[in-house]
Amino acid sequence: MLKKTSFYVLKILLGIGLIGTSFLFWAEDKNISAVLIGIGLSLGGSSIFYLYIKYFQQKHPEIKKQLEIDYNDERNKIIQNRAKAKSADIIQWFIIGLAYVLLLFDYPLWLFGMTVGIFLLYYLISVYFVFKYQKEM
């Protein structure tokens, strides 16, 4: 379920490297610097979280065993897939709302087009998977 410890340590080191690199760009372009800091903190923070989970599971093997059973349980997978589908249905309306906001506030038309393109991409991917799963089942 979880990857090896070395993977998470490498992600922490990469995050620290990105944060350090961001200071090189600070004087020239603060936007690039902010993006590097954000990615570095995300990588480092998530890796520390997963390392803590690994440590906790080593201290409590009975909880680890129950988590593995729950993770592989078919009912839980169905519930997770339904939750993902429902959240995707909700997010699609936020994407369209964002497109309208971009139009109302006179943002560049290419930005509106990209937002609508993402919305259409969602539908194309959905149709693709419907046909794929119909062939499998």
Q: 79 and 48: one domain? A: no
pLDDT grade for 31, boundaries at 50, 70 and 90 = confident
Average pLDDT over residues 10-27: 92
123, 95 Cβ separation under 8 angstroms: no
The neighbour count for residue 78, using CB atoms within 10 Å, is 10
Give how far Cα 42 sits from Cα of 25, 37, 129, Å.
Answer: 19, 8, 30
Statement: residue 79 has pLDDT above 80: yes
Q: 12 and 65: one domain? A: yes
Average pLDDT over residues 51-76: 88
DSSP state, residue 29: -
Q: How many domains does the chain have?
A: 2
Statement: residue 2 has pLDDT above 80: no
Statement: residue 128 has pLDDT above 90: yes
Q: Rounded to an integer, what distance in angstroms lies between the CA atom of residue 9 and that of residue 132?
A: 38
Which one of 30, 49, 72 terminates a domain? 72
Q: 100 and 54: one domain? A: no
Residue 73, token pair as written in the block? 């349980």
Average pLDDT over residues 83-109: 91
pTM: 0.58
Q: 50 and 91: one domain? A: no
- Residue 116: its pLDDT value, please? 92
Q: 81 and 129: one domain? A: yes
Q: 53 and 79: one domain? A: no
Q: 58 and 80: one domain? A: no
Q: Which domain holds residue 111?
A: 74-136
- Residue 29: its pLDDT value, please? 81
Torsional sign, CA 6, 11, 16, 22: positive
Nearest to 99 by CA among 91, 127, 126: 91
Q: 65 and 80: one domain? A: no
Which one of 72, 89, 124 terminates a domain? 72
Q: 9 and 62: one domain? A: yes
Bin 115: left if φ > 0, else alpha if -120 < ψ < 50, else beta: alpha
- Residue 25: its pLDDT value, please? 84
Q: 63 and 34: one domain? A: yes
Which one of 18, 37, 72 terminates a domain? 72
Q: What is the mean pLDDT of the chain?
A: 90
